[in-house]
Amino acid sequence: MTREVDELAETFLGKVDDIAGYRAGPVSEEQLRESARGSLALILSAVATDSTTTQLSSLPGELGRLRARQGVPGEDLVAAVQLDFGLIWSAMLTRARDSDMAVLALHVENLWSVVDDYARAVQQSYLEERALLAATTRDEQRTYLAELLGPAGRSPRDVQNIARALGVDVDAAFRVVVADAAASQHAHRAAARITTLGEQLFVLNQPGRVVLLWPAPRPGGQQERQLQQLQGMAGGLVPDVAGLGAVPAATATAFEICRTLRPDENRLVTLAQAWTRVTKSQLDERHGFSAALLTGLSTVPPSERDVIVETVRAYLRTGSLSTSAERLYCHRNTVLNRLGRFQKLTGLDVTVPDQAALALVALA
């Protein structure tokens, strides 16, 4: 039997090279020969004793785990295992006499059942090991991301090491998103889908928020799958971060954008789209900016205040008295009067550019 197994193993080596995952892949010829001998001998033994391969040996589980660690694609692993049926059946046919054919016909179903059981056991252990490896990789990535985004300063060497651990180019352009913690499940599902496509999307949960990071696509590249997967997520986006070392500062910016999002904004918002709100938030927290500028508005009834503010905002969007009047369904002079009223209450003449900028931020 040993000689026959050796011959079948050599035949297996000649055929397995047709499977892409094994052609000049991570499994050496000697490793393939050894595993083929063990697999074929186990299958033949199971057929002879009317047993399953998993009842006789731990080899299926060991082989699946080993191939997972070696990075062999799952479909290629199954294809290689299923070669065993054809090899053994061909050998049996070659050695059989005409009088043996009826007996062989009775055994073909048993042989296929044994090979199928073996393939399922190998695949199951392979999938379990891949899941374990993926979880370990994600844990390691989260550790490095936490280091990158931590409060301590990072030297260029630290950033280089983090880039190496994440498998990214330290000088590449990146995209950074910060969303509310409630978006964590959406983020992790998106990362899982992106990983299956062979691309990168890193996710880190932090208190009160979730941070997403990925390398920006090269100009002229394919449509960006990460942004597609994040549709419907509300968050701050910094789309062009120059190098991994600039990611912490970009994350702080994305967080400031996220803080100013309105409840109805279910999209990713950039600083160019939210700069007035971010500026207002910063100035209000540090200097009471808006309250100081707009205090005069509190002296008029709410209904009048709302009309004045609506008119000022319309004018700030258009810069035109006529267009503002059209949009507000009122006369041009009415718009002019309301702007004058706003100037009297706040001291800001929104027809003057620098004062208009102050009003634009204060009313953001």
pLDDT digits 0-9 by tens, 119-150? 888 888 888 887 777 667 777 888 888 999 98
Count of other CB atoms within 10 angstroms of residue 245: 19
DSSP line for 94-155 = HH--GGGHHHHHHHHHHHHHHHHHHHHHHHHHHHHHHHHHHHHHHHHHHHHHHHHTSSS---
DSSP line for 273-284 = HHHHHHHHHHHH
For position 155, what pLDDT does the model report?
87
8 Å CB contact between 173 and 241: yes
For position 104, what pLDDT does the model report?
45
CA distances from 129 to 31, 46, 124, 126, 252 (A): 19, 25, 9, 5, 37
For position 9, what pLDDT does the model report?
81
Distance CA 232, CA 148 (A): 27
Cα angle at 163 between 162 and 166, to 5 degrees?
Answer: 85
Q: How confident is the model at residue 339 (pLDDT cuts 50, 70, 90)?
A: very high
How far is the first Cα of the chain from the last one, in angstroms, to the nearest whole number? 83
For 280, half-sphere exposure in the C-beta direction (CA atoms, 13 angstrom radius) is 20
Across 39-48, 185-194, 229-238, the highest mean pLDDT is recorded for 229-238
Residue 202 has pLDDT above 70, yes or no: yes
Distance CA 275, CA 253 (A): 10
Spatial CB neighbours of 5, under 8 Å, sequence gap ≥ 6? 37, 40, 41, 44
DSSP line for 35-65 = HHHHHHHHHHHHHHHT--HHHH-SHHHHHHH
DSSP 336: H
Distance CA 319, CA 64 (A): 68
Longest Cα separation, the chain: 111
Which residue, chain included where needed, has tokens 């001291």? Answer: 347
pLDDT digits 0-9 by tens, 308-328? 999 999 999 999 999 999 999
Residue 257 has pLDDT above 90, yes or no: yes
What are the structure tokens assigned to 91, written together? 């050998």
Is the whole-model pTM more than 0.85?
no
